[in-house]
Chains A and B, each alone.
Chain A
């Protein structure tokens, strides 16, 4: 199972990102757990300045916006 962290201060885009990833995983039978990280110090530790960011198994894979389906596919690959 992949651990997915969505980094963001709780704005609307972060929620959209979490929902989009969960939906993609459900549709494609990928086993993930989605977690939200709102603590700024922790977000910065992952090197993300433009939120929302996405971390998969402790590796930062995306930053700066809601990922589209293509990007999510790459993220979860």
Chain B
């Protein structure tokens, strides 16, 4: 059903713009048009559909589910629920405080905060459509495992000592569950509002990602990656992870870059960890979390994740080759 977007890109690139086929410019423009039209179409569709059914899960309900569970179970629940709960990073702080105050281990809270941006329904559908469902399944499972590991490591190394003191002193009132207008009219208004809000927030990342992907696709020769980013080069995985740390993008924005890299024969492990590093270890998110966690805690936390990503990258490159 997505051939339409390939056809659209064919017509616009070769017929309307009259660019000669199989040139570098044509490849890059074709990639840009196909991905822009396809990804924005999917974004709008999925966010709208999810918006219609939003009242199913909220962070308040999740807090109720995880509260009082044994640690091992709490990590599992936190990443699983984090993956399916839409939540905006501007709510990270109240969510963190709300979870910790309910006696949920800091580790499970962090596991939730790792998994939530990395795995979400929008990224999963776009990833599946653009680069295939097998790769998507690997991405999702890896994301869940890394989230659980991050949670476990947070508790194992007693990271709760880096939580700001004031957090422990907060006593919340009775938690208010958000009330939603559940009539169809209310749902549609809400869903359309979500589309405008989310697309308005992330379109820049998506555009930049597509532009980088198009440039890689059109202008960087496959031999370049074969030489520098093959599985034989042991530095490729750590380099991919490290370069992802200062870079930040929304999960959807990084997909076109991954698509182009895979197309150039870069090994799957290297691509997956680059994506995860870009999305999960981000300066904007850490600036927000700095309100509740001291700087040493954040440095340790970023280091756990980076090490976990490097390990995962090597593992996949060894398994799939």
Contacts and interface: CB of A to CB of B under 8 A. Distances in A.
A53 B179 CA distance: 11
A55 to B, nearest CB: 10
A62 B173 CA distance: 14
Contact of B170 (A45, A53, A62): A45
A62 B176 CA distance: 8
A45 B181 CA distance: 25
B170 A64 contact: no
Nearest to B197: A13
Interface in A16-66: 40-41, 43-51, 53, 60, 62-66
A68 B172 contact: no
Contacts of B193: 66
Given A44-B170, A47-B172, A65 B93 contact: no
A11 B97 CA distance: 18
B171 A68 contact: no
Nearest to B95: A49
B218 interface: no
B321 interface: no
Contacts of A65: 178, 180, 190
B194 to A, nearest CB: 9
B186 A44 contact: no
B157 interface: no
Interface in B76-118: 90-91, 93-95, 97-98, 101
Contact of A46 (B95, B173, B197): B173
Interface stretch (B29-37, B56-64, B133-141, B228-236): B56-64
B98 A49 contact: yes
Given A49-B59, A49-B60, A49-B98, A9 B93 contact: yes
B97 A44 contact: yes
B179 A11 contact: no
Contact of B177 (A40, A44, A46, A63): A63
Given A43-B94, A44-B94, A44-B101, A60 B178 contact: no
B97 A40 contact: yes
Given A63-B176, A63-B177, A41 B90 contact: no
A64 B181 contact: no
Nearest to B94: A49
B174 interface: yes
A63 B172 CA distance: 14
Contacts of A9: 90, 93-94
A71 B193 CA distance: 15
B97 A53 contact: no
A44 B94 CA distance: 7
B181 A49 contact: no
Contact of A41 (B91, B166, B181, B186): B166
Contact of A49 (B171, B175, B189): B175
B58 A64 contact: yes
Which 9 residue pairs spanning A and B have beta carbons closest together? A64-B178, A47-B173, A49-B98, A44-B172, A11-B90, A63-B178, A47-B176, A63-B176, A60-B176
